[in-house]
């Protein structure tokens, strides 16, 4: 079993993004309801937040609820929103010196959820350790479309010219402008796709897919993903001799 001591702590990815997949299938195997799977998933979040923070990860971004998830049965969406409210525990963030942020079309969320998010963002803003980011009502297509609209508005007002539009300008108008692009993206649950998650930001991100369902993803599974990442050579289009 891989331990923390076997990792190179000087090469910990600064930004880890995770697609937390498999809650429903985990629950089905356990003979439980899908909501029980989501509840177990929240416990996994708590454990991974603590472990990632202790490892020295600077940003941890979790795909929590996509724009497509609004198409799920209404009772499941309601249960997920209520679970989200219960899971935003400031004590965990304060205890681990973790700040909290959210990205996505937050205006689409119920007002009580929006209010709770803003309270947690404000109260944890004093923390200086890892930043945990949740992607809520999020999709890359929505995010990029929204960035284009903002840029077009700037062009219309004369604040941005055609020659000003560069990849940096686009990145500055994305929801993730406040943090670096992910070094490592982990997807649990056995699926091998990005599912409309951080498509622009993951252009050179190292991808790691595992069969483990999210409720069973523990610190040892995190170590495996980081160990795999540390064995890779990140060339960004260059050849080995140029690195």
CA dist., res. 180 & res. 174, Å (int): 12
**Residues with catalytic roles:** 21, 69
């Amino acid at each position: 079993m891989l331990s923390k001591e076997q990792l190179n702590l000087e090469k910990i990815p600064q930004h880890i993004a995770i697609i937390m997949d498999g809650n429903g299938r985990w629950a089905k195997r356990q003979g439980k309801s899908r909501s029980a799977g989501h509840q177990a998933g929240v416990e996994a979040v708590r454990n991974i937040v603590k472990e990632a923070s202790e490892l020295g990860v600077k940003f941890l971004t979790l795909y929590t609820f996509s724009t497509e998830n609004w198409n799920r049965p209404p009772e499941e969406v309601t249960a997920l929103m209520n679970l989200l409210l219960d899971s935003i525990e400031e004590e965990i963030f304060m205890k681990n010196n973790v700040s909290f942020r959210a990205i996505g079309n937050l205006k689409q969320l119920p007002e009580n959820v929006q209010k709770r998010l803003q309270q947690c963002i404000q109260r944890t803003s004093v923390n200086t350790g890892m930043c945990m980011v949740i992607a809520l009502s999020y999709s890359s297509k929505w995010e990029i479309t929204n960035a284009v609209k903002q840029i077009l508005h700037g062009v219309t007002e004369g604040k941005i010219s055609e020659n000003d539009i560069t990849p940096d300008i686009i990145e500055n108008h994305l929801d993730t402008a406040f943090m670096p692009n992910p070094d490592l993206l982990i997807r649990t649950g056995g699926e091998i796709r990005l599912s409309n998650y951080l498509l622009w930001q993951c252009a050179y991100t190292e991808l790691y897919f595992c069969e483990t369902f999210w409720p069973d993803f523990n610190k040892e599974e995190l170590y495996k993903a980081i160990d795999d990442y540390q064995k890779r050579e990140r060339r960004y289009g260059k050849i080995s001799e140029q690195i």
